[in-house]
Amino acid sequence: MRNSICYTLSYVMVAFACALHGTSKGFSLKVDDTDLDRGDAIPRQSYSRILEKSTPAVVSVTTQQVVKRMYPTIEDFLRRYYGLPRVNEPNVKEENVPVGIGSGVIVTPEGHTITNAHVITDPRTGSLVEEVLVQLADKIEYKARIVGVDRSTDVAVLKIDHGEPLPFVTLGNSDFLKVGDIVFATGNPLGIGKTVTMGIVSATGRSELKVLDEKGSYENFIQTDASINRGNSGGALVDAKGRLVGINTAIISQTGGSVGIGLAIPVNIVKKVLTDFVQGGELRRGFLGVSLSMVGTANSGALVEGVIPGSAAEKAGFESGDLIVSVGNEKVSSANQLRLAIAQTSPGTRIPVAILRNEVKKTLFVTLELFGKPPPIPGISLEPLSSENREKYGIPAQTRGVVVKKSSGEAETFKEGVVIVEINGYQVNSIEEVTAELKKGINRFYVWYRGKYRFLAYRVP
């Protein structure tokens, strides 16, 4: 029987990063990033005093969708039976229908709350739910508004507007976690109410598990044997000091129940999402501008396959074949680790990157750009020409330009595989050159598509 990965969210019915509204006013985040004392000590008889610090901040999260239902009258039945036309408007009522039950954890006294993105997503449609209810320790439910959602990490930020200071948990430093550290998983498993289970850190840095459905997601999970079940999604993973070190998100199981392989998102990833949404209203990730080989290398590191023209990497002097071995003070062991390290760094940050080039170690300094910045042509995703897309679309070797990777809406004039060769009479060989040559209003494009060259006129807003 194959292993399956289960989100720990209880759905009531069978059934990516977007900022909604956030403010930096009233944001009292408490962080304690000191390491644990791992000296030889007498085992504790109880952790109740430590858990008293964190468990009041763990909440139950219930989601609802508004649906319209028709309630026919007796007259409606009779008219339908005799084949008569309807004379009145149908009796339609809006109702709140439960979608799912999960958990969350309050991280500021002002009511900022962390949960999983999938907890507040309708599994039937993939869209965010219309109403989120949070039940506090006093058993009273409050409406929570969605501040921001990052599907690439499965983190969502909520805000409970309570009016009074709320119990909250102190954030720890997940980078200090070691295998064998004691941790506690707190949440609302199976909807039975707040529950605490105990275990240890079984592993850190778990990736390539394909837990997150979102393309381009960042997986770097803490693995624990603390019992996690459906309904625990979004709940707290705390250390022996009662500090939040992770957000419970999924289990690996053949049965759908806990078998001792639970996964949690490290709190250091959560911090980035939380502070960006609350203080800036949007998620801002760093972007280097290289394509990486996913094939293992003889040396630990991330192998550069290509460099995007005009990107931060090209400006810093990166070349195809470079092996990236460290970013800042962090050693790089894989392509996934490099992606996460860059994503966790804010755009505009200048960082040293150590590389091996022809077995010679060099340090390049790069100023990261903003990941996911708006495309030069709305609705169109572009990419530089490469051997892969030349082969995929049959693009001749002599053709130069940039390739349309994807288009939507009015921009579907530019189909996938179109090569933009010129804009307004000027040759373009990079996305930056496309941006430079575009003007508002009508632009004249010279393109290649399926063996033919032609001109297109297209209005850019």
- Catalogue the active-site residues: 118, 154, 233
Cβ neighbours of residue 397 under 8 Å, at least 6 residues apart? Answer: 390
- DSSP letter for 277, please: I
Decide if 346 contacts 329 (C-beta within 8 A): no
For 290-320, the three-class secondary structure string (H helix, E strand, C coil) is EEECCCCCCCCCEEEEEECCCCHHHHHCCCC
Alpha carbons 56 and 136: distance in angstroms, whole number = 8
Question: Is 120 strand, coil or helix?
Answer: helix
Cβ neighbours of residue 250 under 8 Å, at least 6 residues apart? Answer: 5, 6, 7, 8, 211, 221, 233, 262, 263
Alpha carbons 194 and 11: distance in angstroms, whole number = 17
35: which strand partners?
none
Alpha carbons 31 and 108: distance in angstroms, whole number = 10
Q: Which residue has the tokens 């810093």?
A: 316
Decide if 71 contacts 95 (C-beta within 8 A): no
Closest Cα partner for 150 from 265, 31, 33?
265
Alpha carbons 239 and 199: distance in angstroms, whole number = 10
Alpha carbons 30 and 169: distance in angstroms, whole number = 8
Closest Cα partner for 154 from 21, 228, 250?
250
Alpha carbons 251 and 95: distance in angstroms, whole number = 33
Tally of CA atoms within 13 A in the half-sphere of 34 that contains its CB = 8
Q: Residue 204 has which token pair? A: 């850190």
Distances in whole angstroms, Cα of residue 328 to Cα of each of 16, 72, 289, 347: 29, 67, 17, 14
| CB-count burial class (<10 Å; 0-12, 13-18, 19+) for 461 | exposed
Alpha carbons 224 and 361: distance in angstroms, whole number = 37
Alpha carbons 133 and 119: distance in angstroms, whole number = 12
Alpha carbons 324 and 356: distance in angstroms, whole number = 7
| CB-count burial class (<10 Å; 0-12, 13-18, 19+) for 300 | middle
